A and B are shown apart, each in its own frame.
Chain A
Amino acid sequence: MAASLETRVGPIGLPSPAMLASGILGISTGVFRRLLDAGAGAVVTKSLSAEAWEGYANPTVIGAAGGGWLNAVGLSNPGAAEFARMLRGPPATPAIVSLVGSEPQDFGRMVAEFAGCDVVAYELNLSCPHVARVGLEVGDDAALVESVVRATAAASSAPVVAKVGLGSASYLDTVGAAVAGGASAITAINTVRAMAIDAEAARPVLSNAYGGLSGPPIKPIALRCVHEIASRHEIPVIGCGGVSTWEDAVEFLLAGASAVQVGSALARGNMGVFGEINAGILRYMERKGHGSVREMVGLARR
């Protein structure tokens, strides 16, 4: 039987295992359709809040050594209601909807806005490293995480995914709380809190000073986190952090991820990266005799 890229993350069926990560290119449904046509297994929206947010002033995104990127975009988004209007279409665009907020009731209310949309899943941003009162500040509070996940799951018929990152609490505790709250899967990890200082100007470059590091420099960290979560919890994991090639994607699958997300690798108009990753995974599967993506998951943890 020919190898197939079709896979599942718990209840979420995917035509291919590499999806668009949240925060990247995520505000135009036209761009979403281009990415799906290019081979993305799914697209995740920018994190949406109850109200529109402008985000931080520029500089918000700059390059870092080793092919990485530093960003403090500040979760700019047009708000859940406006985004739902775009997703609803016509034409309707299927998406994993990323939500960000501070209180459990914020999430329940936002879910209600997406009635009539093709929501593949909700991904809760419990890990943005550079905005106050949301993201990691929620993720670091295990009790709050559990109630946020529970509130979202109660409001939604779509599966709930919790996106965790490296905050000041142990992300493994965050995962445990999300599992207890009824999450269907975990995305790990978000960008890693970081900064850049310009020697000539003698000041931080990002207007917010602190931002999140993404791209190849964080891949080994993300891989370790996926391995650790998959080793300790019975919950599907979506690997995220520096996935740029098919080989990166395969490594995440072998570490225990059921799927991966791609973000920084899309820089400079590189939408073809999804096709390259898909083709590379297929070649690898054929070479190794794997018929399905699922049979590769966690093989490096034997």
Chain B
Amino acid sequence: MRGADTPSARTVLSVADETPTVRTLEFEDAELARAAPGQFAMVWVPGAGELPMSVMVSGTAGRAAFTVRAHGPSSRALYGVREGGLIGVRGPYGNSFDATARSALLVGGGTGLVPLMRLITRLPPDARIGLAMGSRDAGEVLFEARARELAQGREIRIEVATDDGSRGLAGTAVDAARRLLDSGGYAAAYTCGPEPMMAALVREAAARGVPAQASVERVMKCGVGICGSCCMDDRVVCCDGTVFGGEHLASSADFGRACRSKSGATVPL
């Protein structure tokens, strides 16, 4: 007999290159297909490791996906899984974005755009959406067409920023977000991506009186609030988060500044 949190084997049904360094792997999983935006799964690559991954939307009912960039040993292994390959999943874990805003500003950097794609599908049917996306260069711009598809006829305005200026604005997602904020009228800002970018966005939104929510990433081992590896101040990110409100984050000593290493030592971000 299996436990509810024992990894369940899933066969990867398709692998699609999103950019030269980012891939999306799809698989069947009714429960993860229903995951709320911001929730994550712990993903086991047998023999290679296990890592927390935000659950990406799939265009096929009953399927979920992971969008991964190879940067550490576990993500490199997941990036290398081919069609027909086996992964183990447990989850979904964590809380999620409050998707009720009728005018929503979404701000994502790199694969931080993943929970924002799921968020687009959950925003109200009459929502007005602004999407600021940041990436390294023109070739790494992620999910631009997918975001328009997922908007399904709702108004969506997209601003792209690249670090090197090869597409859109030269700058970060926050610079792109500023343009959208200048046009005004957003009831909420949602962000996921590199923490310095999120911290800047939370400050920017607060200065304009727009409530923000950010999905925070930390070292995760258990994903279920047992090991404590992911703690941020007095919060356990895997259970109390990963989504936190801007007001809480503004009062956090750690957010935007420090995280825990694998040993649990506090280290600068």
Contact = CB atoms under 8 A, between A and B. Distances in A.
Contacts of B1: 65-66
Given A52-B265, A60-B221, A201-B46, A25 B240 contact: no
Contacts of B228: 24-28, 31, 46
Interface stretch (B4-12, B173-181, B182-190, B209-217): B4-12
A30 B231 contact: yes
Given A27-B264, A53-B263, A55-B262, A63 B6 contact: yes
A82 interface: yes
A16 interface: no
Contacts of A63: 2-6, 90, 224
Contacts of B229: 27, 76
A266 B231 CA distance: 14
Contacts of B236: 25, 31, 269
Interface stretch (B27-35, B47-55, B118-126, B243-251): B47-55
A268 interface: yes
B222 A71 contact: yes
B3 A66 contact: yes
Interface in A69-117: 69, 71, 73, 76-79, 82, 86
B200 interface: no
Contacts of A78: 261, 263-266
Which size class do B's interface residues fall under?
A: 35 or more
Given A27-B264, A31-B231, A77-B263, A267 B46 contact: no
Contacts of A196: 6
B23 interface: no
Interface of A: 23-28, 30-31, 33-34, 46, 52-55, 57-69, 71, 73, 76-79, 82, 86, 196, 198-201, 203, 205, 207, 263-264, 266-270
25 contacts: A24-B226, A28-B231, A31-B231, A52-B265, A53-B263, A55-B221, A57-B73, A58-B44, A58-B49, A61-B226, A62-B3, A63-B3, A63-B5, A68-B3, A76-B229, A77-B263, A78-B263, A78-B264, A196-B6, A198-B46, A201-B46, A201-B47, A205-B7, A266-B225, A269-B240
